Structure 1
Amino acid sequence: MDANGEELAPAVRSILAAARERSGGEERVSVDARSFEDALAAAESDGRVPVIAEVKPTSPTTDGRRDDDPVALASAMVEGGAAALSVLTEPAHFGGSPESLARIRAAVDVPVLRKDFILTEAQLDLVESDLVLLIARFVDDLSGLVSAAEDRGFQPLVEVHTRAELDRAVEAGADLIGVNNRDLGKLEVDLGTFESIAPHVPDDVTLIAESGVGSAADVRRMRSAGADALLIGSAIMDGDVTANVRRFTTA
């Protein structure tokens, strides 16, 4: 069960159990982050839909695994017009690693989000990135972790799935909020989740639609509902990543 006492899908329970066992880095990191807001503005001024393209070798909700060099994939995504990148660092269930993120960040000039199940402050110190994902559903002291991330120079992206989680994120001072259309309890996707939550997000928050975007029509739907940017993973990783990113950024 999660912090709210709600039942979780077996795959998510396994991910969280592994996350609780992972330690952080040996030294506190200090990040000179690339501005995510500037990256979004640059995409908009260039006529592109701001897309965070995700380097995700595998996941519990996809079949198979993609073993291309992560740096080559990331570079191809930037070539396609990605405003930023999301890189999995969770090893056991998503095939990610801190090493891959470090190599990718050194090779590209766009902001890089570290996507993982971060539960403690020490786990922030594993690798430098520009943004770091904090999932409200699984973090007990959200305001404390947001502050700890900001103190290190990270731009924290707080992920929510419900109105209650949105309220927690706002109270914690988050100015980057992602609405995950995937229910991590059941692993089911519903784009209506974003549409139901977006109207309640404060105007000064940068809002990102996460999960479930698989077509140009989905992009337009999320943008119409208020998405400032979209985080897209599986639909980009399946096939020619440059062409896939371009398809979404020009939707």
Structure 2
Amino acid sequence: MNVDGALAPAVESILRTARERTPGEDAERISVDARSFSDALADAEENGRVPLIAEVKPTSPTTNGERTDDPVELAETMVENGATALSVLTEPEHFGGSTENLRRIREAVDVPVLRKDFIVREEQLDAVAADLVLLIVRFVDDLEGLLSAAEERGFQVLVEVHDEEELREALDAGATIIGVNNRDLARLEVDLGTFESVAPVVPEDTTLVAESGITTTADVERMCDAGADALLVGSAIMDGDVGENTRRLVNA
């Protein structure tokens, strides 16, 4: 776990609760028949759509208010308006998410679904089935071991980094899908230049996802020009008309 330097208080709280959470005593080891993320990206490209991972995020420490809409209806609207894949928050305390939301959404749609959470131990992988799971380099002690455990269960793994040092750690662990978070977890500030600085040193055979701070069509174009294979967008979709926001970014 790379926690050199201070984390923002909200992030420290998220990490603290993540360490305490378990999937429950009755949880069984999950085996997933995952929907292919690479096939979904190829389909988006073939059809001239921006490869968008739209996020179902009821709330977060960096937004005001909470969406109380049925998460399944939100997810279906995103897919109907061109989302390539979905990201579903399952962290309950800070993001209002749940594993039940993810389970219901995955049953209702036919695109790949990412479980967005703060997974730090192997048993936490068994909380719910998904097509992809998120592992954050800065939060994980044994990245190679946890990545392997996830893949053994059938998950595709999005490994999140923020700088070149974390990128090297992710690649050394065997990551093939890399997410570059434009948000600095120490100050919670967003800088799209973060992706632009990391992208050039990512191997060409790696799937590269730009995360955080993507709000406008100009931001979409900027990240795609910098080498993004997909964009993960939450607040810019959830704030307002979900269908219209999704459509606007997909067609940028």
TM-score normalized by structure 2?
Answer: 0.98
**What residue in structure 2 maps to residue 244 of structure 1?**
245
- Cα deviation for residue 159 of structure 1 reads 0.2
Q: What is the CA–CA distance in structure 1 between the aligned matches of 2:13 and 2:129, rounded to whole Å? A: 25
Q: What is the CA–CA distance in structure 1 between the aligned matches of 2:184 and 2:3, rounded to whole Å? A: 14
**What residue in structure 2 maps to residue 168 of structure 1?**
169
Aligned sequence identity (%): 71
- Cα deviation for residue 5 of structure 1 reads 2.6
Structure 1 residue ranges, 4+ long, deviating more than 3 angstroms after superposition? none
- Cα deviation for residue 4 of structure 1 reads 3.4
Q: What is the CA–CA distance in structure 1 between the aligned matches of 2:12 and 2:69, rounded to whole Å? A: 28
**What residue in structure 2 maps to residue 14 of structure 1?**
13
- Cα deviation for residue 135 of structure 1 reads 0.3
**What residue in structure 1 maps to residue 212 of structure 2?**
211
Matches within 5 A, 1:67-106: 67-106=68-107
**What residue in structure 2 maps to residue 45 of structure 1?**
46
Does the 8 A contact of 2:54 with 2:78 survive in 1?
A: yes
Q: What is the CA–CA distance in structure 1 between the aligned matches of 2:38 and 2:206, rounded to whole Å? A: 11
- Cα deviation for residue 12 of structure 1 reads 0.5
Q: What is the CA–CA distance in structure 2 between the aligned matches of 1:186 and 1:32, rounded to whole Å? A: 38
Q: How well do the aligned residues superpose, as a CA RMSD in angstroms?
A: 0.8
- Cα deviation for residue 137 of structure 1 reads 0.6
> Unmatched 5+ residue regions in structure 1?
none
- Cα deviation for residue 6 of structure 1 reads 1.4
- Cα deviation for residue 221 of structure 1 reads 0.2
> Unmatched 5+ residue regions in structure 2?
none
Residues 92-135 of structure 1, C-alpha deviations (whole Å, 9 max, x = no match): 00000000000000000000000000000000000000000000
Does the 8 A contact of 2:2 with 2:137 survive in 1?
A: no
Count of residues in Structure 1 that have an aligned counterpart in Structure 2: 250
DSSP 3-state at the match of 1:61: coil
DSSP 3-state at the match of 1:188: coil
Does the 8 A contact of 2:41 with 2:84 survive in 1?
A: yes
Matches within 5 A, 1:74-223: 74-223=75-224
DSSP 3-state at the match of 2:53: strand
- Cα deviation for residue 169 of structure 1 reads 0.5
**What residue in structure 1 maps to residue 59 of structure 2?**
58
